Amino acid sequence: MDDITTLRRILRDHRTIAVVGLSANWYRPSFFAAKYMKEHGYRVIPVNPQYESVLGETCYKSLRDIPEPVGIVDCFRRSEEIPALADEAIAIGAKVLWMQLGVTNPAARAAAEAAGLEVVEDRCVKIEHARLFGGLGWCGVDTKVISAKRPA
């Protein structure tokens, strides 16, 4: 999905995000993306069987365990795991299946779209929000871990 108008509408209209694969480790991309979205007014629901809570929110073992409506299912999982997540997103009535940078799956896309979900592939929800809404204060990837500097 490269349509700026559609990406902006998705991020404007869907304020509850289930983040599948959300890590409690501050240096993981899932953590700082979720932290950013939470700081910008989104309801972030962690989905990871390894944790009881992340970012002060109850963490669920699967999408099906979430007791409230979800707009966006944001997937920090490998491409081959997406079809099962697409099925879960469909089952819970999510509106958008969002696959993070480097994650694509044509079969999952087709299944989700056939069920009426919008699908975003190979894009970061945090980067898109900052790009489209000018997420002041945290536009970059500032973990102080990732660097463009060449090793000595």
Domain boundaries, the chain: 4-133
Q: Give dist(CA 24, CA 89) in Å, integer.
A: 22
Number of H helices, E strands in the chain: 5, 7
pLDDT tens-digit map of 34-67: 999 999 999 999 999 999 999 999 999 999 999 9
C-alpha count within 13 angstroms, C-beta hemisphere, residue 28: 14
**Could you tell me the CA-to-CA distances from 79 to 36, 56, 106 in Å, in that order?**
24, 28, 10
Predicted TM-score (pTM) of this structure: 0.88
First-to-last alpha carbon distance for the chain, in angstroms, is 39
Whether residue 151 has pLDDT greater than 90: no
Whether residue 149 has pLDDT greater than 70: no
pLDDT tens-digit map of 5-26: 999 999 999 999 999 999 999 9
**Which tokens hold the place of 1?**
């999905």
Tell me, what's the pLDDT at 135? 56
Three-state secondary-structure class, residue 75: strand
| Amino acid type, 41 | G
Average pLDDT (82-92) is 98
The class (CATH top level) of 4-133 is alpha beta
Average pLDDT (66-89) is 97
Three-state secondary-structure class, residue 72: strand
Q: Give dist(CA 4, CA 128) in Å, integer.
A: 9
Q: Are 82 and 103 in contact (CB under 8 A)?
A: yes
